[in-house]
Amino acid sequence: MATKSNQAKFDVKKQLEVVEEQFQTLQILNEEGEIVNEAAMPDLTDEQLQELMKRMVYTRILDQRSISLNRQGRLGFYAPTAGQEASQLASQYALEKEDFILPGYRDVPQLIWHGLPLYQAFLFSRGHFKGNQIPEGVNVISPQIIIGAQYVQAAGVALGMKKRGAKSVAVTYTGDGGTSQGDFYEGINFAGAFKAPAIFIIQNNRFAISTPVEKQSAVSSLAQKAVAAGIPGIQVDGMDALAVYSAVKEARERAINGEGPTLIETLTYRYGPHTMAGDDPTRYRTSDLDNEWELKDPLVRFRKFLEGKKLWNEEMENKTIEQAKDDIKEAIKKADAEPKQKVTDLISNMYEEMPNNLVEQYEIYKEKESK
Ligand SMILES: Cc1ncc(C[n+]2csc(CCOP(=O)(O)OP(=O)(O)O)c2C)c(N)n1
Ligand SMILES: [Mg+2]
């Protein structure tokens, strides 16, 4: 008796291969700091290139100081950023002041370069409410701790911009782990459907705390998740500041021209632990992998490129380091000078109209705090 043929009606293998081929990594500067893709070179002046380098060096110092301030008990929550400077700072550098940033907890550097005063970033780390009082004209919200939630909010902010006819974009960040959340898919799908001017950035640093990206998803690139939302998806070398800048700049132009959102995956790495709360990366990462990624360092690569053009030298590097250290000292002093947060602050900052059940507690604390 003839058995029923199990012959495939669709070439599903080919389908996945075609998708994989579509998502090649954009690189402009290789690890030696040489231009390997002249055609994709962004249009930046010498001064702008120097400024980008300055910001990366400055932020590496800020990361080192933040880690030691945390160890001294002078900062609270902190998620290290070293390794991710090109991904974070070159993406922010491609924005305009009127663009709105919706960050994750590791994205404090972008907020600072978008205008958040450093002492407020320190207050945020301490859980002080003044760290969340964003100054007028600084278009950011506080870092999101709930993984992926900012993707949905970004779709809404972008749609609001579109409705007002604003020539600006909403930019949001999540990690590789964040792309497994429902909010991630909802955000990119909604923005795609409404052609909202949003840029969705995935900083793929290969780990979600201890979970490697290979265990996170079966996809061959996270950028390809854009396909299901009907929007462009781009994968870039996230250790290459020029590639990141170029991809975000283009995405911004598309958004402003009414062409809708873009999903950008930056391939990057965090050198430090997930946060300062006590995870030990040696338990989930090999030193071989660490070494492999340190060779791709975004600062080393960009420094080589600029030195080759005689646009950077040791003196400029040292001046930037000193500037960062001075600013940090000043900002910590300012944060220390802020009156300690009280329980009554917590209640009064939370509610415009205090609920009845808190009135009594509020009075009790007010009495205690007055002594
Ligand atoms: C909705 C939600 N689930 C779980 C957590 C706990 N959590 C905090 S960070 C994290 C890993 C996120 O990894 P990834 O998105 O790759 O970002 P990265 O920390 O690497 O920048 C998890 C699971 C959370 N904050 N929110
Ligand atoms: Mg990650």
* pLDDT range class, residue 343, cuts 50, 70, 90: very high
Q: Please name which of 166, 123, 158, 167 lies closest in space to residue 143, comparing C-alpha atoms.
A: 123
Q: CATH for 21-35+44-338? A: 3.40.50.970
Atom of ligand 1 nearest to the CA of 216: 16
Q: Which residue in 252, 270, 301, 303 is the catalytic one?
A: 270
Predicted pLDDT at 3: 56
Which residue's CA is the nearest one to ligand 1's atom 19? Answer: 208
DSSP percent split of the chain into helix, strand, coil, nearest 5 = 50, 10, 35
pLDDT digits (tens, 9 = 90+) for 117-136: 999 999 999 999 999 999 99
φ/ψ (deg, to 5) at 119 = -65, -30
Q: Which residue in 185, 271, 284, 365 is the catalytic one?
A: 284
pLDDT digits (tens, 9 = 90+) for 309-325: 999 999 999 999 999 99
> Which one of 186, 209, 213, 269 would you pick to mutate in the ligand 1 pocket, going by the greatest count of ligand atoms within 8 A of its CB?
209
The ranges assigned to domains in the chain are: 21-35+44-338, 341-371
Q: Which residue in 60, 106, 274, 303 is the catalytic one?
A: 274
The number of the ligand nearest the C-alpha atom of 207 reads: 2
274: annotated active-site residue: yes
User: Does residue 55 register a pLDDT over 80?
Assistant: yes
Residues with Cβ within 6 A of ligand 1? Answer: 106, 145-147, 174-178, 203, 205, 207-209, 274
Task: Measure the CA–CA gap between 33 and 44, rounded to whole angstroms.
Answer: 16
270: annotated active-site residue: yes
* pLDDT range class, residue 26, cuts 50, 70, 90: very high
SS (H, E, C) 179-205: HHCHHHHHHHHHHHHCCCCEEEEEEEC
